[in-house]
Each structure stands twice: as structure tokens, then as C-alpha cells.
Amino acid sequence: MNGDPLDIAFAGIVRQAQMLRDGEITAPQLTELYLERIERLNPKVNAFNAVFPESARAEAAAAQQRLDAGESAPLLGVPIAVKDNIDIEGHVTSIGTGGFSKPAAADAEIVRRLRAAGAVIIGTTNLPEFAMYAHFTASPTWGVTRNPWNPERAPGGSSGGSAAAVAAGLVGAAVASDGGGSIRVPAAHCGLFGLKPQRGRVSLMPRAQNWSGLSVEGSVTRGVADSALFLDAVAGNVSGDGDIAMPPDMPYAQAAAEDPPKLRIGVSMTPAIPGTIVDREVRDAVAAVGDLLSRLGHEVVDAKVRYPLLLPRFMPRYVTGIAEDATGADEGKLSRRSRQAIKLGRSKLAQRMKQWSIDQEDAARAKIEPVFERNDVLLTPTIARPISSAGKWLGKGFFHSLPTAGFYVAFSAFWNYTGQPAASIPAGFTTDGMPLSAQLVGPPDSEGLLLSLAAQIERERPWTDARPALAAH
């Protein structure tokens, strides 16, 4: 192994893939580095609920044989973690609960594609039951997941385990999903980059869709180039019932390596959920990103955004989606909060409102479309308020937890409804040392543009060298 193990752990998957190709490290060495860090540090953050040392070692050995033979694949030998709502053959997909016991019969398509790209699947990461919330990751079955920047704080959700794992240097990238902010919000909590792809960009098979189209799959990573490489590996068309969009002619990695053209960037502090108060430090962080973009030559203007009423459109698909995900679960092993949500999702009213929400989607897109006729990209906060305490919401009921959740998805959830891409970028730190974030939102099919713009910001204000004190050894 050539180099400092700590630097290698935090290097990101682009650099790790190159090191493996160049022979600076072997796949077994990289896998052992992460297995050791997981064993030592995971008890402090509870990012993983399962680790696969035997299969990971076997996959790493096989990857090294391919590397030694001169083979090439984008992620050959690179360890990747998978959020535990995504099927891995032979393992129980818990969806954050203790309600399931039957192992998955096959890999989900995103896992199959990662394996095809050469990735080593190292373990599964925690989420709240049924991916229900964006502001915390905790469950009666798997306990409380903690933020590596401050273990007393939450890592966000629902991909909080994935974000905590990457932020703590336990893996270079992790699969995540986003049904209302669940990639972007934990990325914001943990000082990471998180891209919510266009709906249909990444296959959800064996499901054609999830939460009636609200939820998509992607990753959380330290740097923009890492997310671009990941998306290149998993995006594209597959056989089946899913409406899967083909990737663009230009690889996402290439888009992330090139500066964007001069853009008109609209800045908005208006949330999609009325009554949300945006914290002053959040406002200042977003304004600072806007100032940087102006200095880079972009035209930065105030944007007037008038959202259609979100909650009646979002909530029916959210609760019916939870109810669908609970099919086959032993409900006696679920939390009271989950049982309440499932009961609501199975109601006739929720089913009728879900169809109304689907029918209203085109009109909502048409209402928001003028924002992107006037602006190339929208810049907003990712989350409106400081990060909540870890474990604060464990044991609380569904209706008790819901109002606070709205404050954390007030800038993110609308874009799940319309389906277009959006990304969370690190934007400094609060006075008490917690990460701040800004969100970039683009028109449909604009992942390449968002990656290019985010990478330009990262080159000007690098964030990947920052490491939580908990993990910096």
C-alpha cells in the first residue's frame, strides 16, 4: 500500500479506482482498510447494520485477479455500501425494520450494475423504518445512527447510514435513495455531495417505481466527480416495466470535469412548505455560494418561485408508498409510528388522493416551468434549520414527528414530485462546527449541468479535505 491509510480512506472512489489501476494499492488491501475502520468506528456512529467481511474479501480477491490480468472496469475493486432498502441477493432487506425475514432472491438492478462495474459490496447501511423521515435515522431494531461531525446530532435521513458511513471514512461511496430529500438532506447534514437524479434515470427494478414515482436511487459521496462516476456506472435502460431514461451522450464524469457555460442562476429562499423559517446561518451560506457564482462569471439574480401547494400532493404518495413497502412485514415487530403510517396509507381516502396527486403532476410542472425559462439553475437552501439531536425522535408517533419533518424537506420534496434533478453541495460550517449546505436544482434531464456547476464550485471552494474529528485517525 502506497500512501497514508487515512488519506486513502477519504480519497473518494475516483481516486481509489485510479490507485487500484496503477497498482498503488490492491483491492484486498483497500477492502481490509475499510473493514478495520468499520469494526473500530461503526460502534460510534452506527452507520452499518450489516457488514459482509467474507464475501467482500472474496469479491476483492476476484477483482484483484482481474486487475492483475489487465482488465478494466469503472469501479473494479472499489468497496461500496448499500442502503438497506435495496435488495442484495441472499440478504434480508430490512427497510430499517425487524419486520422482514426472507432473504432477497436476487440483486436489485442498481446492485447488479455496481457489481458489473467491478464494485465490492461491503455491507448495508441504516435508515429509519420504511425510509419515513429525512431529519433522523433511528429505529427500534437498529438503534440510533449518529452524525460523525458530532455524535450528539443526527445524520439526517432517510439515507443517514449511507451519509454517516461516507462522512466517517468507512467507505468511499454509498448507495442512497431519495423520496423527499433522502439523498440531499443527509448529504447536507454530513458535509457531503448528494445528487438526486432525474426520475427514471436509475432503474428501481425489481420495482418499476417506488412511492408512485417520488423515490429515486443514487449515491452520497465526498466529491462531485465521485457521484458522476457512480451515476455513469448505474444509469441507463433495462428490460422490464420501468420507465428508465438513457444516459446522455456525454459521460457524467466528463461533465463533472468541464466548467459549465455562463449561466443565469436564480436564488430563492422561498420554501415549498409555507411557514418554514430559514435559519440565518443557512441564508448566509446560500448567499455566499451565490456570491462565488457571480465572481465566476455567472449571472446571479433573485428568483421568484411560486410553488403549487405541496403537502396535499406529496403526502398521499408518501403514506401509500410506506404501506406498499410494508407488504409482507410482521407488523407486530414495527414501531407505533410505522403502524400509524401504514394504516393511513391503506385508507380509501389516501388511495383516492394518491390518484389525484398523480393527475395533478403535469399542472404542477407547468406552474414551476417559468422558473426554468427565466433561469438555468435554481439555488436554494437544502435544509432550513440546524441539525436535530440524534435519537430525539425515537419512539415518537407518526403525527408527532410529521410537522418537524416538514422543516427539513421544505426545499427538497417538491422536486421529487416533479421528478427533476437536484443536488446538495457543502457550503461551510455553522458556528458550532456542523455542516451547512446549498441546493442546486435544474430543469428536467440536467444532471450533467448540475454536476458541471457543482464541480466548478468545488474547485473554487474545496470541501473534501474536511474530516470529522471522530474519524480522522
Confidence class for position 404, pLDDT limits 50, 70, 90: confident
| Strand 264-267, strand 377-381: pairing | parallel
In the predicted model, is pLDDT for residue 258 greater than 60? yes
User: b/e for 169-196, b at 16 or more Cβ within 10 A?
Assistant: bbbbbbbbbbbbbbbbbbbbbbbbbbbb
- The mean pLDDT of 127-132, rounded to a whole number, is 96
- pLDDT value at 268 more than 80: yes
Rounded Cα distance, 395 and 129, in Å: 11
Q: Are strands 435-441 and 377-381 parallel, antiparallel or unpaired?
A: antiparallel
- Section 340-361 average pLDDT: 97
- What is 252-267 written as a DSSP string? HHHHHHSPPPP-EEEE
Just list the catalytic residues.
Answer: 83, 158, 182
Residue 247 pLDDT grade (very low, low, confident, very high; cuts 50, 70, 90): low
pTM: predicted TM-score of the whole model, two decimal places: 0.97
Share of the chain above pLDDT 70, in %: 97
Does pLDDT of 374 surpass 70? yes
The confidence score (pLDDT) of residue 443 equals: 97
Biggest distance spanned by C-alpha atoms of the chain: 61
Domain 5-471 has CATH 1.20.120.420: no
Q: What percent of the chain has pLDDT over 90?
A: 90
* pLDDT band (50, 70, 90) for residue 388: confident
Q: Which of 19-23, 110-114, 156-160, 398-402 has the lowest mean pLDDT?
A: 398-402
Q: Compute φ and ψ for 60, nearest 5 degrees.
A: -65, -40
Strand order in the sheet with 435-441: 48-51, 120-125, 79-83, 173-178, 216-221, 193-196, 422-429, 435-441, 377-381, 264-267, 299-302
pLDDT digits (tens, 9 = 90+) for 354-363: 999 999 999 9
Express each pLDDT in 40-63 by its tens digit. Answer: 999 999 999 999 999 999 999 999
What average pLDDT does the structure give for the chain? 95
pLDDT greater than 80 at residue 250: no
Q: How many Å apart are CA 86 and CA 126, to the nearest integer? A: 11
Going by pLDDT thresholds of 50, 70 and 90, the confidence category of residue 473 is confident
Q: How confident is the model at residue 238 (pLDDT cuts 50, 70, 90)?
A: low
What is the H or E stretch that residue 379 is in?
strand 377-381
pLDDT value for 261: 98
Domain extents for the chain?
Answer: 5-471
Show the beta-strand stretches assigned E in 166-310.
Answer: 173-178, 193-196, 216-221, 264-267, 299-302
**Weakest mean pLDDT among 124-138, 307-321, 366-380, 389-403:** 389-403
SS3 content of the chain, % helix, strand, coil (to 5): 45, 15, 40
Q: Is the pLDDT of residue 239 over 70?
A: no
The per-residue pLDDT for 280 is 97
pLDDT for residue 240: 46
Residues 117 and 239: their CA atoms lie apart, in Å, by 18
Residue corresponding to grid cell 448528494? 194
